[in-house]
Structures are given as structure tokens and as C-alpha cells.
Copies of this chain bind each other. A is one copy, B any other.
Amino acid sequence: MSITEQLQAARAACRALALADTGAKNRLLSAMADALLAAEESILAANAADLAAARGTVPDVMLDRLALSKARIADMAAGMRQVAALPDPVGRVLERRTLDDGLVLEKTAVPMGVIAIIYESRPNVTSDAAALALKSGSACVLRGGKEAFRSNNAIVAALREGVQEAGFAPALVSLVQDTSRDSARALMTASGLVDLLIPRGGAGLIRSCVENATVPCIQTGTGICHIYVDAAADLDMALEILDNAKTSRPSVCNAAEVCLVHRDVAAVFLPMLRRRLVEERKEKGFVPVQLRLDGRAGAIIEGTPAGPADFDTEFLDYILAVAVVDSVQAAEDHIAAHSTGHSEAIVTADTAAAAHFTAAVDSAAVYVNASTRFTDGGQFGLGCEMGISTQKLHARGPMGLAELTSYKYIIRGNGQVR
């Protein structure tokens, strides 16, 4: 089956799902979770084959992401049941208005239709993405990475059994059988067949989607997040926030990559920062944070001089770029020039500075006196997450079920003409 045929089948199948009520959709997700557990053996066997093929060719951290176990499969099924338990995003009346001529207009949430998802090594994304897409009333066409190909096929086979048992067309969930760049390109350019394309992966994948997609697409993930320590900051609070944002999980997109420090507190704060992130971590046997310092920070503490790219790099590692700035406005200017629009924080006791920063900084999430690590669908109360949008069209920040829907206007009259 070609990708076009696969998308056409998904398109045909999603029309019935769009008409299904909440109970039917929840039973569908529950049947998929049951089928996933029932297929545990075949999924683990496929995963073992993927792992055997990958061993030696990919880094250990990637093998860990790829590996499934009984516990991980149980988590995947539990995740699907959690999505089933969330409120139905479809059918909500977002606005109701009676127009002058007596027409009654309802702006109503509706499914997207066909959602295509291009993702990389983690096979658990397969069931997560399918649950989110189907609960939001859309069919999904999944294109995973080649390392997880056997695992993904086994998972999708199980999910499709569940779909069929629930009385829906299996084409609601399908996996692209070609894992080359060609298939990604085919999804990106399937105008009229894909209503929403979500790339989940590294910067290269996102860039390729932005450059090549002719279908509606949401940029996700890249996060060059900044923590600005203001002149009026509680410096102990600033240190806790910075430590958390940098070191609690450096590989994720909401981790901090850059610290900007107001000149008035730099001489006090930078030595505290160095002591906490470098020396104390060494003493405790943790990986120390490598500091990349601009000239003014380098005049106060020791560290590597920052190179030209260091303020424009998502390190995803124990590395922090540090600069001294003259004012909250200078911090905002720096962020405007270097941020990817994900998450930024100001630490300050000055409400005017905080208000200026939250108004001026144009990112998906802007924090006052809290860590950027909170930018997450679960933390924000969305119950789940398909990714974090760093664009301004449609959805910004964590995307939950509501962000996977569109809307239409339903207008009821009794013969009105214009």
C-alpha cells in the first residue's frame, strides 16, 4: 500500500470516528489498551530483534530509549487509559451567538481529520500518539524511526486489533512501512490528505518539516531557554531555580541553556553559580556544569570563554552559557535575538521588572520566579501532551487534546437569505 493509499484509507476511516460519541471513543481506546497488553509477547519479541540489530550501531542512551519491557508496555497501556479518561475535546461549543437576523451561530470544536506524526526512536510514542489522535477524533498515520521499526509494527498491529474489536476501521491507526527520508517527504507534501503534521524529534527533522512541508505543520520542541537573574532577585531563589532548570534533566527541551545576570548582582551571584554548578557537583561526584562565559562574566568567574555559537545552541547537556546584562530591557533584547520561543524565566522581587519581562518576552511560556522545567502538558494541567509548539500559529507551548482539534461554525436558521 502506497503512502497515498494509506492516507486515503485514514481519511475515509476518520469520517466515522468524527461522528462517534465520547463513550464509543473511550471504549475504542480501552480496547486498544487491552489489545496492547494481550500482544505483550509479540511486541517484546519484535523489540528484542530491534535491539539486537541496533546494538553496536547506536549509542547506549538510544538503546535505552528503544528498549521495551513488560513494565513499559503496561505503562503504555495505562497511558492510553488515562487519555480515555480525559474530557472529550470534540463537540465543545466554544461560542454561541444569535445574529441580528435571528440566525443562531455555534462555534464548535471538531476533529482535525488525519494527523501524521513523524517521530524518532522511542516506541512508546506510537501508542501515546495514537491515543491522543483518536481521542481527539482524528485518524493517525505514524512514521517512526528505522531502529524501532519491528517494535512499532508489533505495537500498531496490536492497536489495530483493538480498533477492529471496538467496531472501527483499522485504518484509523497505521504505520508507514518505509522509514527512509522519502516517506517523511511524502507525508510533508500530501496536500489535501494530511490535516496536521507533527514532527517529534531533533532539530534536523523540525527544520526539514518547516522547509518542505506543504501540509499544515506544527514546529515542536527546540528550546534555548533563558533564566534572567534581575538586580532585585532573591539570589538564593535564583540559584535554586537555575540549578533545577539546568541540571534536573539537561536533555529535555525545557531545560535552561543560558543564564543572564544583571550587572548589579553579577559580582555576588556568579561566584555562587560557579560554586553550586561546578564545585559542589564535583565534590558530590556529579557531572559538573561547563560554563561558557561572555567577556563580562569571564572577568568575574573562571570558565570557558563563550564562542560565537554558544548563545544560539540547544546544548541538551551539562553546559550553560552565561552573560552579564545592563538591565531587564537588555535581557529582553538578548532573548529576542537568541531565543527559540520556548520558555524563559525572570527571577526578581521587583513587580515592575517582572511585568515588563512577561509583557515583552515573546515565548510560549514566560515565568516569574519559577523554573522553566514546568513547561509540560501534564504540569500545565492538560492531562497529556503531543509535543510543545514553538510556533505562534494555532497552538503554542504544550499541546493537549484541545490543541489537536479545529472548529467549525454551525448556523441554524429558518430560511434567512442575505
Contacts and interface: CB of A to CB of B under 8 A. Distances in A.
B99 A413 contact: no
Q: Is the interface of A mostly helix, strand, loop or mixed?
A: mixed
Contacts of A374: 99, 103, 411, 416, 418
15 contacts: A18-B360, A99-B379, A191-B211, A195-B393, A354-B412, A363-B408, A366-B409, A366-B410, A367-B412, A369-B413, A369-B414, A369-B416, A370-B416, A379-B418, A392-B406
Interface in A92-128: 97, 99, 103, 105, 110, 112-113
Contact of A393 (B15, B19, B216, B248): B216
Given A234-B415, A244-B418, A396 B392 contact: no
A367 to B, nearest CB: 5
Given A374-B103, A393-B216, A364 B409 contact: yes
Most chain B CB within 10 A, of A354, A373, A411, is at A411
Interface string A43-75: 000000000000000000000000000000000
A380 interface: yes
A366 B103 contact: no
A241 B417 CA distance: 6
A81 to B, nearest CB: 21
A391 interface: yes
A63 B407 CA distance: 38
A-B pairs, 9 with minimum CB distance: A370-B413, A244-B417, A392-B406, A216-B393, A394-B394, A373-B418, A237-B415, A370-B416, A365-B409
Contact of A365 (B210, B359, B411): B411
Interface string A124-140: 00000000000000000
Interface in A176-200: 191, 195-196
Contacts of A379: 99, 418
B15 A417 contact: no
Interface size class of A (residues with CB under 8 A): 35 or more
Contacts of A362: 15, 18, 110, 113, 408
Interface string A214-239: 10101000000000000000100100
A370 B240 contact: no
B214 A380 contact: no
Nearest to A236: B415
B360 A19 contact: yes
A366 B369 CA distance: 47
Contacts of A244: 417-418
Contacts of A211: 191, 214
Contacts of A370: 103, 411-417
A369 B406 contact: no
A26 interface: no
Contacts of A287: none
Given A18-B360, A380-B99, A406 B411 contact: no
A342 to B, nearest CB: 11
A365 B19 CA distance: 17
A218 B408 CA distance: 16
A417 B360 contact: no
Nearest to A238: B415
A19 B354 CA distance: 14
Nearest to A333: B15
Given A99-B381, A191-B210, A393-B406, A359 B19 contact: yes
Interface in A322-377: 336, 354, 358-360, 362-371, 373-375
A374 B365 CA distance: 38
